[in-house]
Amino acid sequence: MNSPDSFGAIYNFVSGPLVWVAFIVFVGGSIYRFYDLIKLVNRKEKFIYSYMSWKYSLRSIIAWVTPFFPVNMRKHPVLTVVTYVFHLCLLITPVFVLGHGVLIKNAWNVRWWALPESIADFMTLMVIIGCIFFLVRRLVFREVKYVTTMSDYFLLAIVAAPFVTGFLCYHQVGNYDLLLILHILAGEIMLMAIPFTRLSHMLFAALTRAYIGSEFGKVRHARDW
Partner 1 sequence: MAEVIEKTEQRIVDEGLDKGADKLTGDQIARVIKAVLENETGARLKVYVDTCVHCGLCSDACHIYLSQNRNPKFSPAGKVKRTMGEILKKKGRVSPEFIRDAAEVAYTECNLCKRCVQYCPFGIDVAYILLIVRRICHKLGVTPLYIQDTAHSHSVTMNQMWIKEDEWIDTLQWQEEDAREEMPNLRIPLEKEGADVMYSVIAPEPKFQPNLIYYTAILMNTAGINWTMPATPGWDNSDMAMFTGDNEIMGRIKRAQFDAAARLKVKKIVMGECGHAFRSVYDVGNRWLGWKMPPIPIVHAIEFYYDLLKAGKIKIREKYKKSVTLHDPCNVVRGAGLHEKARYVINEICENFIEMHPNREHNYCCNAGGGVINCGPPFKNKRVKSNSVKAKQIRDTGAEILITPCHNCHSGMEDIISYYNVNMHTKFIIDILYEVMEKPGD
By the rule CB under 8 A, 24 interacts with partner 1: no
Rounded least distance, CB 44 to partner 1, Å: 3
Rounded least distance, CB 194 to partner 1, Å: 12
By the rule CB under 8 A, 111 interacts with partner 1: no
Count of residues touching partner 1 (by CB under 8 A): 48
Exactly one of 72, 91, 95, 116 binds partner 1 (CB under 8 A); which one?
Answer: 72
Contacts (CB under 8 A) with partner 1, residues 136-165:
137, 141-149, 152
Phi, psi of 70 (to 5 degrees): -65, 145
By the rule CB under 8 A, 81 interacts with partner 1: no
C-alpha dihedral over 195, 198, 200, 206, to 10 degrees? 170
Rounded least distance, CB 143 to partner 1, Å: 4
Please report, as ranges, the residues that interact with partner 1 according to CB under 8 A. Answer: 37, 40-41, 43-45, 47-48, 50-51, 60, 64, 70-72, 75-76, 79, 137, 141-149, 152, 198, 200-201, 204-205, 207-209, 211-213, 216, 219-225
